[in-house]
Structure 1
Amino acid sequence: MNLKQIDTIKEKIQPILSEKHLLLWDLSFFGGSPAVLTILIDGQDHQAIRMNQISEVTSLISDALDKVEPDPFPDRYNLDISSPGIDRSIKTDEHLDWALGQPIKLNLFEKIDGSKSAEGILKSFSDLEISLEVSPAEVKNFPREKISKISLNQEA
């Protein structure tokens, strides 16, 4: 699936989510047999969402996607709509902005200070690095190019 198709899907589902006071957290497509379109939704102001909300928007989004022309899914696919969960992945600068001041976990491509992960309070971020308060007296900077995954860390 290309970026234009993803943008088309976002355009079709955004009004539905807005009307229901929900936010799009993430959208991904994985090819396979069958392929899976995963849409992660969140409550307004990142409040928890209920199963009945997910059920309701799943039906509305499915109907809206069936009407997209040209069909971005000419083959069979599964639609998976769910909450990002409490240990949600953080993938965009918008997600990082929301997570400022919260505990996060970084998975690293290579060891830094003897570890391939780091945990702490997100203090700041830029295009080049993520700054975590790893202890009350210590803030460490991690180059973004060395980070493989960022997630909220509610276990902290």
Structure 2
Amino acid sequence: MGSVVETVTELVLPIAKKMSLELVDVEFVKEGKSFYLRVYLDKEGGITINECAEVSDELGEELDALDPDPIPQAYYLEVSSPGAERPLKNESDYEKAVGDYIHVSLYQKLDGRKMYEGTLKSLTKETLDLEVNLKGRFKTFTIPRDAIAKARLAIKF
């Protein structure tokens, strides 16, 4: 059997599809002494707490029925919306974010910085153009996509 994330993704995809929800991300992480299995779902107009509860119930039953147990240690299952600062994981996430304010973290410095926040103006398979406000002056940075460690929507203050 594959990793916990792969196993849970395979289990939750049909549940999400049946409910017309989009699977945004699955993560299995240790924080302090506890393990967390987090499933992020969304849909046009946002996901409700009842939908989260329904997915949690169905997914929990499916996980409990697996033998051998893919997660032998105790963990907390959390099913939620990705929130206002939704991660950009795949091509369609980036395409939907054109025109939006985003946060980008890089593996290495580019023009002296490892983090950028600005408006995603355009993208290609290799790069994205981000318009950044630098003390009242706008500058567009072209960032290689393979240099991006993480990207997410951001709230502009």
Task: Please state how far the C-alpha of 1:110 moved relative to its aligned partner.
Answer: 4.4
Q: For the Cα contact (< 8 Å) 1:108–1:146, is it kept in 2?
A: yes
Q: Is contact 2:8-2:26 (8 Å) kept?
A: no
94-103 vs 15-24, which moves further: 94-103
Q: Which moved more, 1:9-18 or 1:25-34?
A: 25-34
One-letter amino acid matched to 1:36:
Y
Unaligned ranges ≥5, structure 1: none
**Contact 1:13 1:64 (C-alpha < 8 Å) held by counterparts:** no
Give 1:63 deviation, angstroms. 1.0
State the TM-score, normalized to the length of structure 2.
Answer: 0.79
For 2:64 and 2:124, the matched residues in 1 are separated by 39
CA RMSD of aligned residues (A): 2.6
Q: Is residue 119–residue 132 contact of structure 2 (8 Å, CA) maintained in 1?
A: yes
Quick check: 1:96–1:125 contact (8 Å CA) kept in 2? no
TM-score (norm 1): 0.80
Runs of 4+ in 1 over 4 A off after TM superposition: 135-138
**Could you say what secondary structure the match of 1:52 adopts?**
helix
How many angstroms apart in 2 are the aligned matches of 1:34 and 1:120?
A: 35
Q: Which residue of 2 aligns with 1:41?
A: 41
Corresponding residue of 2:62: 64
**Which residue matches 1:112?**
110
Counting aligned pairs with the same residue, the percent is 32
Q: Where does the alignment leave 5 or more consecutive residues of structure 2 unmatched?
A: none
Pairwise mapping of residues 71-110 of structure 1 onto structure 2 (< 5 A)?
71-110=69-108
What is the Cα deviation at residue 72 of structure 1? 0.6
